[in-house]
Amino acid sequence: MQVFKFGGASVKDATGIKNLAQIVSATHTGKLLVVVSAMGKTTNALEKLAQAYFNQQDDAHQIFEEIKAYHFKVLHQLFAEGHPVFDEINNTFVEIDWIIEDEPADPFDFIYDQIVSVGELVSSKIIAHYLAERGVKSRWLDARAYVQTDNSYREAHVNWEKTAQLIQKDIPQILEQHIAVVPGFIGNTSENFTTTLGREGSDYSAAIFAACLNAESVTVWKDVPGVLNADPKRFENCIKFEELSYAEAIEMTYYGATVIHPKTIKPLQNKSIPLFVKPFLNPAEAGTVIKASAKSVDTPIIIVKEKQTLITLHSKQAAFISESQIAGIFKAFADARIKVNTLQVSALTFSASFDSDEPKFESFKQQVPDFDLRYNDELKLITIRHGNAETFKEFVKGEVYLEERNRITSHFVVKA
């Protein structure tokens, strides 16, 4: 069986959903499970709504009405008046109505997941209905009935044993008769609360289902021709890779290449499942395949990650940064749920950069009282793999605050 994943750009409007149906009808062979993201920029809009509701801003209901209007406009372009999908989508949005009619009483991360997860629920239900309208025998499945997680809201960790048991219990039988349509990005706790898997987590959802079902392949349909050596929105003359190894793809995504969610690759590598990245507007093109490969990469890869914070810690008590102090710093990062992108240790200082997140940073600060802390924000991280002096000169512009290099990868934290 195969797993297809369609991102928000590929289902942003009625034309995109029609194109999805055409791809599903024309390109899949045998059993198929389809994972979909929220439509267009819906996740951004729902994040704005969650923040507005949590802060009790006056525009929360207006934001919500705009989100609903956007989806119902698409519905009217796809379905005749009176189709059951209208009531189903309206009832799904009621989940948000119930939340925002009262004042917030839960932590923001919990509220975020309950609100933002609705984007994937709505898009997947629309697509399942449209496939059926086109004569494709499809069945909507609620990912929360299968993907079991802990309660680390906004970046939940998957309980692989429980998830595999639930997926293997009935989905293979469903796929005998139907194409399954599943919302990406979301899971469920043992207390039956909705969680999300991290931004752009629908790719990860596709990998979870594929690994648990021992799929033949996963195809991620994107608005680019495949995996490129740089972001085409930033750089000209980008080069497409025909093939990449799992390890190369993991390195690229970890440091910010947005074409695939960072957690996607490892579950597929563990099962030797190839991942294809293909353009949804030209489905016949080969795209890029990520698989077990010994093929070397000699093209420089440039990855730019915005909104970085760089900290430097000095010990208040001792002249040198000791191993036990370093251990304490990493515990503080872990407790604050901060993922370090770069780090550098000298005799007197510990420096590290990470994605800017004010609440997490404030939590971190409170856990390192024995250090003097200095920081800069509004920085960006430039990662170059397989580069050379010429590459660095061409792509590293601005004041460099931190530089870190090894044989293959170089990092530059620079003033944005």
User: Do the annotations mark residue 7 as ligand-binding?
Assistant: yes
**Which of 355, 242, 354, 258 has its CA nearest to residue 302?**
258
In the chain, the amino acid numbered 204 is Y
Residue with tokens 């690759």: 265
User: Do the annotations mark residue 43 as ligand-binding?
Assistant: yes
User: Do the annotations mark residue 120 as ligand-binding?
Assistant: yes
3-state secondary structure of 395: helix
3-state secondary structure of 44: helix
Strand order in the sheet with 275-279: 138-140, 179-183, 32-36, 2-6, 217-222, 275-279, 288-291, 243-245
CB-based contacts of 358: which residues, under 8 Å, 6+ apart?
none
3-state secondary structure of 308: strand
**Angle at the Cα of 251 from the Cα atoms of 245 and 254, rounded to 5 degrees:** 135
Beta strands 301-315 and 371-385, pairing class: antiparallel
Q: What are phi and psi for residue 376, nearest 5 degrees?
A: -130, 140
Tokens matching residue 205: 């959802």
Tokens matching residue 58: 């006056």
The alpha-carbon radius of gyration of the chain (Å, integer) is: 23
User: Do the annotations mark residue 8 as ligand-binding?
Assistant: yes
CA dist 273 and 76 (Å) reads 39
Binding-site entries for ATP: 5-8
Binding-site entries for substrate: 43, 120
Binding-site entries: 5-8, 43, 120
